[in-house]
Amino acid sequence: MSSFIGPIAAMVVNVLAQIILFRGRRGTQYFGSIIQAFLLGAVTLLIGEAFFISSSAAVSERLFLALAVNLPIYLGLSYCYFNFVQLGQTSIRLRIYSEIMAHAAGVMISEIEREYDEKGLTEVRLQRLRESGDVIERDGNHFIGRTRLLHIANVIFAAKHFLLRKKSEFD
């Protein structure tokens, strides 16, 4: 029998655990709650799959299903969930839209530009990158610190060049 219940159950555990952990800590340790909830979901999936494998006659087929199908489904859904939550946390587009929606008469462009001052946002980003160690400041100059974001940036920019034939949306 085909079993797709495992990754769904694991996702339910992941989402509920993340909300409970995040709220329980009064909004602190956001990334910690994401990782811990993901691991809890993964453990749920492994337990479920182990149960199915032990009770199945076709062990190798069941093991393949668990590793090559259900695990990628869980990873994919977790990735989607992480991005969904992240969108609600940091998306400028969403914040601007919700502010415009909240005012029936609309919002002045100058007000948006003042609230979302590009220079201020750049400073916030630099500060965040310095705090995470991705950027290092030395003698007034900024350098790359940890290279993890650089690897992601290189992959994204290569994909953009391949798919859209340009290097930036501002090209």
Partner 1 sequence: MKIFLTSVGLFLFSFAVHLIVWRYKLPKHHIKSLLVIFAIVFCLWVFGAIIYSWGLLETVHIGLFYGSMTLSYVITYSAIEADSPTLSLIRFLAEAKGNGRTVSEVSQFMAQRPFVRARLSALALSGLIREEGSRFIAVGPQPLSFRVILGFRKLYGPISRGG
**Contacting partner 1 within 73-132 (CB under 8 A):** 73, 76-77, 79-80, 83-85, 87-98, 100-101, 105-110, 112-113, 116, 118-119, 121-122, 124-126, 128-129
CA dist 121 and 110 (Å) reads 16
The position carrying tokens 């869980």 is 74
Minimum CB distance to partner 1 smaller for 30 or for 40:
30
Span from 35-43, 48-56, 68-76 in contact with partner 1 (CB under 8 A): 68-76
- Residue 113: C-alpha distances to residues 87, 90, 118, 145, 169 (Å): 21, 17, 8, 31, 20
30: number of Cβ within 10 Å? 14
Could you identify the residue written with the tokens 């290092």? Answer: 136
Least distance between partner 1 and beta carbon 87 (Å): 6
- Whichever of 35 and 156 has its CB closer to partner 1, that residue is 156
Q: How far is the CB of 15 from partner 1 (least distance, A)?
A: 10
CA angle 38, 41, 45 (to 5 degrees): 135
Residue carrying structure tokens 């668990």: 66
Which of 16, 32, 39, 157 contacts partner 1 by CB under 8 A? 157
How many residues touch partner 1 under the rule CB under 8 A: the total is: 78
4 near partner 1 (CB under 8 A): yes
Give the count of beta carbons closer than 10 Å to the beta carbon of residue 13: 18
Residues in region 30-59 near partner 1 by CB under 8 A: none
Q: Report the nearest approach of partner 1 to the CB of residue 159 (Å).
A: 5
